[in-house]
Amino acid sequence: MELPPLTKGPIMIRQLAMFAAATAEFVDIHYDKDFAQSVGLPDVIIQGWYKTATIAQMLKGWAGDGNALKRLTVQYRGMDVAGNTLTAGGKVLRVSRESNGKRVECEVWVDNQLGQRTATGTAILVLS
């Protein structure tokens, strides 16, 4: 079963600068274009955590509760640059009964507007 996807963007440098402050992770390649290019990157790149938080938001939309998410494991497979639009998606892999509810394991991903899958992973949710 596919989960309802969540699309956001284009994600501009302003948003990445806000995210840097919102997470207390100031890493210049995420908001300083000159610096990013000086270290060989094509442009400012979107934080990996931004993509993980977007997957978590997509899962919350489906589960109806952000706290249903118990584990989210994401590999960053490709870089996304500022200006990209991201779509978080997923599908249910297996469901099992547990004492505290229904345990759902999902495959999750992020695709950009070019059709590149730049993040993949797995999520575990417990739905009461």
| CA atoms 53, 59, 62, 64: torsion sign | negative
* 12 touches another protein by CB under 8 A: no
Question: What does the H/E/C string look like for 78-94?
Answer: CCCECCCCEEEEEEEEE
Q: How many residues bind another protein (CB under 8 A)?
A: 39
* 47 touches another protein by CB under 8 A: yes
* 7 touches another protein by CB under 8 A: no
Interface with another protein in residues 66-105 (CB under 8 A): 66-67, 69-76, 79
* 19 touches another protein by CB under 8 A: yes
**Residue 128 CB partners (closer than 8 Å, separation 6+):** 68, 100, 101, 102
CB-side neighbour CA atoms (13 Å) of 50: 29
Q: Are 21 and 13 in contact (CB under 8 A)?
A: no
- Closest CB to another protein among residues 24, 96: 24
Residue of 1, 2, 4, 38 that binds another protein (CB under 8 A): 38
Q: Could you give the CA distance from residue 49 to residue 51 in angstroms, rounded to a whole number?
A: 5
Closest CB 66 distance from another protein, rounded Å: 5
Minimal CA–CA distance to 121: which of 103, 108, 105, 104?
108
Residue of 27, 91, 95, 101 that binds another protein (CB under 8 A): 27
Residues that bind another protein (CB under 8 A): 8, 15, 18-19, 21-27, 37-40, 47-50, 52-54, 56-57, 59-60, 65-67, 69-76, 79, 121
